[in-house]
Amino acid sequence: MFVPVRTGIAAHEPRPASRSPGSPERPASSPSYRGTVTSTTGIPPDPLAPARLGPVQLRNRVVKAATYEGLGHHGRVTRDLVDFHVGYAKGGVGMTTVAYCAVAKEGRTDRHQICWTDEALPGLRVLTDAVHAEGAAISAQIGHGGPVANPKGNGLPALAPSRYFRKTTLSFAQKIDHAGIERVKRAHAGAALRAIECGFDAIEVHLGHNYLISSFLSPKLNHRTDEYGGSLENRARLARDTMRAVRDAVGDRIAVIVKMNLDDGVPGGFWLDEAIPVTRWLEADGTCDALEMTAGSSLLNPMYLFKGDAPVREFAAVLPQPLKLAVRAVGKHFIREYPYRDAFLLEDARQIRAAVKLPMVLLGGITGRASMEVAMREGFQYVAMGRALLREPDLVNRVAAEPETPSLCVHCNKCMPTNFTGTRCVLVDRTTTRGAQWGQPAGYVG
């Protein structure tokens, strides 16, 4: 059994080629790619060979991307959540990522999300132990929802760089003050320390999707006139300060990954021309071990990241009123459809790759050996897989056994609305991943 080992102590609308989602049947073969070899040896690394990420040695370069599981219960780990991630560990990933563990209660986007409270810690330890027992590493995505947070579920107002009216909750996000900003920085550092305490091998700090720190980067959402607004340097201050607080807290006891937008996918938002200098600043600051670039806005354009079909009807079916009526009426204007292609973020991500020397994770349309290898040829050190693994949790093992194995994922995106009842691929399980014992926390007595 391979066990992860810590080795250290001390205006860009996408232009993807249109492709039909196809049928649920497995295609005859994987697509072919051409890429540029950028490794120092001229030979790209094997994506399924062991690799080091910061202080952690992984059994391969494949990361299960953070996909919100919908399996926590009142902020605590459940047996279902443990089983969810153990499935990917058994399926061969080098590391699985627990999606969105909020650093503060008002930063949750769902009232059941894991939050770094004393009550959550026993279950998190059960979770990390279970994943390690299968030979995989485990990462915790940490962040603050900011304007994306759920004020009704949290019983607390959402926070944003500037006062903002959110149509989906019919409420205003409050402008966060300087004391609140300092609390957010400390909360991220505290969450990182608790991740170490719970046995996580890595943390992924969420600086994307117009969550709090991402919304500070956005000129569309950040109208401040103090040191946190205006120029790009000011808008990036919270991101840099938070990463400095995290790194100072944890040192090299845990791998630190930054997840940040290439662009928000909305007019007037954060774009690639600003993402490049921000990643250079983060590299110069020395506060992270790797970058994972993403895209889109959970607040304004959620489908910009995912590409593929827009499941408007499925979202309407699970949302409460009056959102159900609104989505049925005008959902296509918010839940938009973007053509899918494999490795769809590569075109923009390679511009970050050319700008920094930090290790990078390529996310977006990684579906098999072919797309893994193009990432390696382009100079990325790791790949992150989301929907393809929801469809087939053992896809990495399948690819290791037969390199030409293609993914069965058809990019219908009907998995997205299932996070209200337990995230899953509806082509595999149309019911729920919440078992009969959902609500019974893992790792507790009594």
- Among all residues, which ones are annotated catalytic? 211
3-state secondary structure of 127: helix
Both structure tokens of 26: 């497995």
Task: Give the number of other Cβ atoms within 10 Å of residue 39's Cβ.
Answer: 13
Do 103 and 187 meet the contact criterion of CB atoms below 8 Å apart? Answer: yes
How far, in Å, CA of 354 to CA of 361, rounded?
A: 14
Q: Which residues contact 252 (CB under 8 A, 6 or more apart)?
A: 8, 9, 10, 54, 55
Separation of alpha carbons 341 and 19, rounded Å:
6
Distances in Å between the Cα of 138 and the Cα atoms of 197, 204, 249, 266 are 13, 10, 19, 32
The token pair at 340 is: 């899918």
Buried b (16+ CB within 10 A) or exposed e, 304-337: bbbbbbbbbebbbeebeeebeebbeeebeebbee
29 to 25, 69, 262, 339: CA distances (angstroms): 12, 30, 30, 21
- Calculate helix-pair angle for 79-90, 121-133, nearest 10 degrees: 20
Residue 162, strand partner residues: none
**In whole angstroms, what is the distance from residue 304 CA to residue 162 CA?**
23
First-residue to last-residue Cα distance in the chain: 33
Helix (H, G, I), strand (E, B) or coil at 345: coil
Q: Compute CA distances 104 → 146, 157, 214, whole Å.
A: 10, 12, 16
- Structural contact between residues 220 and 266, judged by C-beta atoms closer than 8 angstroms: yes
Report DSSP letters for 200-250, one per residue: -SEEEEEE-BTSHHHHHH-TTT----STTSSSHHHHTHHHHHHHHHHHHHH
The region that residue 125 occupies, defined by phi over 0 for left and psi between -120 and 50 for alpha, beta otherwise, is alpha
Dig out the tokens for 359 from the structure: 């290790």
